Structure 1
């Protein structure tokens, strides 16, 4: 019997950000609009990348709203 185990991971990276009006509903920190990039890897080889915009908290890092395009 052979058992295969593959490593799949996903990383979220903030490309750039600028201040936005509003506060975080979780911690009360300031919000910012950020260009995000999600990369999914399979056995350390990237096979899927997606770019999207999100409103994130500058203090706790929570994604408050996401805009996929």
Structure 2
């Protein structure tokens, strides 16, 4: 018997916009990105979620708000 689980996660950047503040590491400008993630099982989409992530435009680090 052969069992193969085919799962996939795809992320697409929906939009970018400048965010207030500065990067604590390099002092660069912060960008807010809207990222849409999609989970698939055997090419059938199961789950969609849109998240907002903060990145530095100079050092490309992902920033976390506390």
- More displaced stretch, 37-46 vs 50-59: 50-59
- Residues 57 and 44 (structure 1), Cα distance of their counterparts in 2 relative to 1, 3 Å cut: farther
Residue 22 (structure 1) aligns with = 22
Alignment TM-score, normalising by the size of structure 1: 0.67
- Change over 3 Å in CA distance of 1:61–1:7 after alignment to 2: farther
TM-score under structure 2 normalisation? Answer: 0.69
The verdict on how the C-alpha distance between 1:30 and 1:6 changes in structure 2, with shifts beyond 3 A counting, is: same
Bigger Cα displacement from structure 2, 9-18 vs 28-37: 28-37
* Structure 2 CA distance for aligned equivalents of residues 60 and 11 of structure 1: 24
Which stretches in structure 2 are left out of the alignment for 5+ residues?
Answer: none
Given the superposition, is the C-alpha separation of residues 32 and 10 from structure 1 closer, same or farther in structure 2, using an over 3 Å criterion? same
Partner SS for 2:5: coil
* Aligned pairs, number: 63
Report if aligned partners of 1:34, 1:54 keep a CA contact under 8 Å in 2. yes
Give 5+ residue unaligned stretches, structure 1.
Answer: none
